[in-house]
Amino acid sequence: MRRFFPRLFFVIWLGALLIGASVTLIDAFANPSTRLEEHHNLEVDALRLEAIEVMKEASRGARPTDRLRRFRERTGATIYLFRDDGLLFAPKTPPTNVRDLAARVRAVGRDVEERHENGTLVGLTLPNSRYVAVGRVLRTPAWARALGEDQPAIRITLLVLASALLALLLANYLVRPVRSLRRATRRIAEGDLAARVGPQLDHGVLAELGEDFDTMAARVEALIEARERLLSDVSHELNSPLARLRVALELARGKAGEGAQAPLDRIEREAERLAALVDEILTLTRLDRAEGIERASVDLRAVVLDVARDAAFEARASEADVRLGEVADARLEGDVELLRRALDNVVRNALRFTAEGTAVEVSMSRDGDEARVRVRDHGPGVPDDALARIFEPLYRVEPDRGRSTGGAGLGLAIARRGVALHGGRIEARNADGGGLEVCLTLPLATLPPVTPPAKRVSANAEVSA
């Protein structure tokens, strides 16, 4: 949009300039000198007729000064009436060149015309030889002369300014519905599926596009709601058979011999994985439908330390480690369990993909009124074009990735929604030297920053809060 508006403005402005220049040239060619001369002759005749009427009033003993003043205001032309005895009738005091021209007309006995830079002086003989009139006609109207319309540079400047104003108004009119459409598109991209543009585009040039957009948005909203409802319903329906499966599994253990224990253990593990998947689906569905959370004061530093300690204990099985860097003191208003789960999902995801013998690095810093929790692994990383999609539900970079790591593709989606409900954001990038770094940014309540000494959490050590 930042580039579209200037380009549209420039195109409209250029078009307006070309139209203005064309009109000026056509006007110049359509008014040759003969037509201009005819127009001038009509002006002189009008001056003569008005001067004769003024002379008649003066001959009857009246003083037609008011008439001369009204004529000047109406036409922009000034008439000076001189009598042979020196009596003058005029709307204002005549300049010297007007008096000199009147004397010349009386001396030669015919009309005399003088052209000047700003207009024309016309000396007129009248039927009554006692009177002589001088008319002063400006080359351009007063308003045009005030603007310098008779100067080419001024005319060009006025054309440029007028066309720029026209282009600005028209471009803004055309771009306004596009901006409304863009705002609605951005709201939908941020998860607000109820965004519509119909009311803003009712009378715009993109009204039909707005209707199509609203239809599309309504369809997408319906599809997503149907998907969430399906996931929720299926998850709830799976809870009952899972519970019965556990009961049947315990009964089978009591009746089976030693040779059946290994297959039963495998069944139990798969049942637990399925139960965990159902729980994650229900959690994600609940968070997607939530518009807010119950807030309480949360010690974010304590949450980070607890998650790191639990992750360090579980890291023993994968011959990995959890290394705790700088953890600043921070407190915010939020849901402690939701924050714990969001961070735990990010750390567990890092443990799944970090290489054996390496450590997942966890740290937290403060930046103004925000806290940034960083979790970095030393795994294969993620392709750049997939960095934003790893937070989508059920998305995997590789089709078989979930099978090899045990992930269901919901942990990071839950983390993103949990962070968003706290007014924060979560981002991922490929770290220098390999591996993936996930950053959780959360707004904080006001609290003086306190930075404790750096600590390290390993598989063989506990973390003290």
Q: Residue 307 above 90 pLDDT?
A: yes
| Strand 321-327 relative to strand 359-367, pairing | parallel
pLDDT tens digit string along 410-425?
888 888 888 988 889 9
Residue 374: name the closest of 386, 391, 361, 392 by CA. Answer: 361
Question: What confidence score (pLDDT) does residue 442 get?
Answer: 94
pLDDT of residue 155: 63
CA atoms within 13 A on the CB side of 458: 5
Mean per-residue pLDDT over the chain, rounded: 78
**Is 57 within 8 Å of 81 (Cβ atoms)?**
no
Query: Which helix (H) or strand (E) is 99 found in, with range?
Result: helix 96-108
Q: What is the pTM of this model?
A: 0.50
- The rounded distance, in Å, linking the Cα atoms of 140 and 77 is 10
CATH fold of 31-139 reads Beta-Lactamase (3.30.450)
Question: Taking the domains of the chain in order of start, what are their residue ranges?
Answer: 31-139, 207-289, 296-443
Strand (E) positions, 328-369?
Answer: 331-334, 359-367
236 is catalytic: yes
Residue 439: is it exposed, middle or buried by C-beta count within 10 angstroms (0-12/13-18/19+)? Answer: middle
**Cβ count near 430 (within 10 Å):** 15
Max avg pLDDT among 107-116, 132-141, 158-167, 255-264: 107-116
Question: Could you tell me the two tokens for 125?
Answer: 């003989």
Q: What is the pLDDT of residue 206?
A: 67
Q: What is the CATH number of domain 207-289?
A: 1.10.287.130
pLDDT tens across 438-448, in order?
999 999 864 44
CATH topology of domain 296-443: Heat Shock Protein 90 (3.30.565)
- Average pLDDT, stretch 169-196? 76
Over range 292-321, report the average pLDDT.
Answer: 86
Condensed to tens digits (0 to 9), the pLDDT of residues 41-74 reads 777 888 889 888 888 888 888 888 888 888 888 8
Pair 370, 442: CB distance under 8 Å: yes
Q: How many residues does the chain have?
A: 465
Strands across the sheet with 119-125, in order?
A: 88-89, 78-83, 131-138, 119-125, 112-116
pLDDT surpassing 80 at residue 465: no
Look at 104-108, 153-157, 158-162, 317-321 and tell me which has the smallest mean pLDDT: 153-157
Statement: residue 225 has pLDDT above 50: yes
Instruction: Give yes or no for residue 363 having a pLDDT over 90.
Output: yes
Rounded to 10 deg, the angle between the 411-421 and 336-353 helix axes is 150
Read off the pLDDT band of 403 (50, 70, 90). very low
| Across 266-271, average pLDDT | 82
Residue 440's CB is within 10 A of a number of other CB atoms, namely: 25
Express each pLDDT in 188-215 by its tens digit. Answer: 777 777 778 776 666 555 677 777 878 8
| Amino acid identity at 21 | A
Q: Is 433 left (phi over 0), alpha (psi -120 to 50) or beta?
A: left
**39, 203, 236, 422: which is the annotated catalytic residue?**
236
Contacts of 458 (CB under 8 A, 6+ apart): 312, 321, 322, 323, 359
Burial zone of 217 (CB within 10 Å; 0-12 exposed, 13-18 middle, 19+ buried)? buried
Per-residue model confidence as pLDDT tens digits over 2-42: 566 666 667 777 777 777 666 665 655 555 545 556 666 77
340-372 burial: b if 16+ Cβ within 10 Å, else e: bbbbbbbbbbbbbbbeeebbbbbbbbbeeebbb
Task: Give the closest residue to 391 by CA, choosing from 439, 423, 320.
Answer: 439
Sorting pLDDT into bands at 50, 70 and 90, what band is 339?
very high
Integer CA distances (angstroms), 300 to 6, 153, 309, in order: 46, 68, 14
